[in-house]
Amino acid sequence: MTKVKICGLSTPQGIQAATEAGADFVGFVFFARSPRAVSALQAVSLARGVPAGVAKVGLFVDPDDAAIADVLAHVGLDYLQLHGAETVERVRQIRTRFGLPVIKAIAIAGVADIDRARNYETVSDILLFDAKPPLTSDALPGGNGLVFDWRLIAGHTWTQPWMLSGGLDAENISEAVRISGAKMLDVSSGVESGPGIKDISKIRSFVKTAKHL
């Protein structure tokens, strides 16, 4: 069965909708520029609504150790998601220092990005393939609602599990899974009514559709 991660949750209602629908992962964004950003203290309250068996993921963008440590001092996370330009060595350092499994996001636009992703297989527990952000100064590293060519990752074999992300919604995930072969899906903007505003009905629809693929 397809696994689902709902990322960028910031309200108890969103947490409840995601977990009751059957999401396997819930994501909290600790990146101040994101419209989905939450503080460590907010995450504490949100995490109380996450039932056992659902993994709590903290998303960071090029964090220093202090930023991660501050969050972990307040809230227990099951995964650290690194969504910036972290090098292979930096991912290794974070994974070793904090003793938590790491999801490493790789921005995909062409074949060269697939080759680059190979370098992270030995230091990541899950790879996450997302669309490369637009080339603007205010672009966010993820959550832009952009889709990349799923054929780029079709047919590849990886030593680690991987998630598909980037512009997914309930309407296109059947095609996305058919083309890419993904067994795990990550969504943020695709279940929103506006930037950072999660839509309860869209969350339910996405998870239901994914689970029936």
pLDDT for 132: 87
pLDDT for 114: 94
CA angle 91, 191, 135 (to 5 degrees): 55
Per residue in 112-168, pLDDT (tens digit) is 999 999 999 999 999 999 998 755 545 556 556 689 999 999 999 999 999 999 999
Q: Which residue has the tokens 């990550």?
A: 186
CA angle 76, 35, 55 (to 5 degrees): 25
Report the distance separating Cα 82 and Cα 110, nearest Å: 20
Report the distance separating Cα 121 and Cα 143, nearest Å: 23
Strands (E) in the chain, as ranges, are 3-6, 25-29, 55-60, 79-82, 102-108, 126-131, 162-164, 184-187, 192-194, 197-198
pLDDT (tens place) for every residue of the chain, 213 residues total: 999 999 999 999 999 999 999 999 999 999 999 999 999 999 999 999 999 999 999 999 999 999 999 999 999 999 999 999 999 999 999 999 999 999 999 999 999 999 999 999 999 999 999 998 755 545 556 556 689 999 999 999 999 999 999 999 999 999 999 999 999 999 999 999 999 999 999 999 999 999 999
Give percent above pLDDT 90 in the chain. 92
Phi, psi for 190 (deg, rounded to 5): -70, -10
pLDDT for 212: 95
**This prediction's pTM:** 0.94
Active-site positions read 7, 130
Domains and CATH numbers, the chain: 3-211 (3.20.20.70)
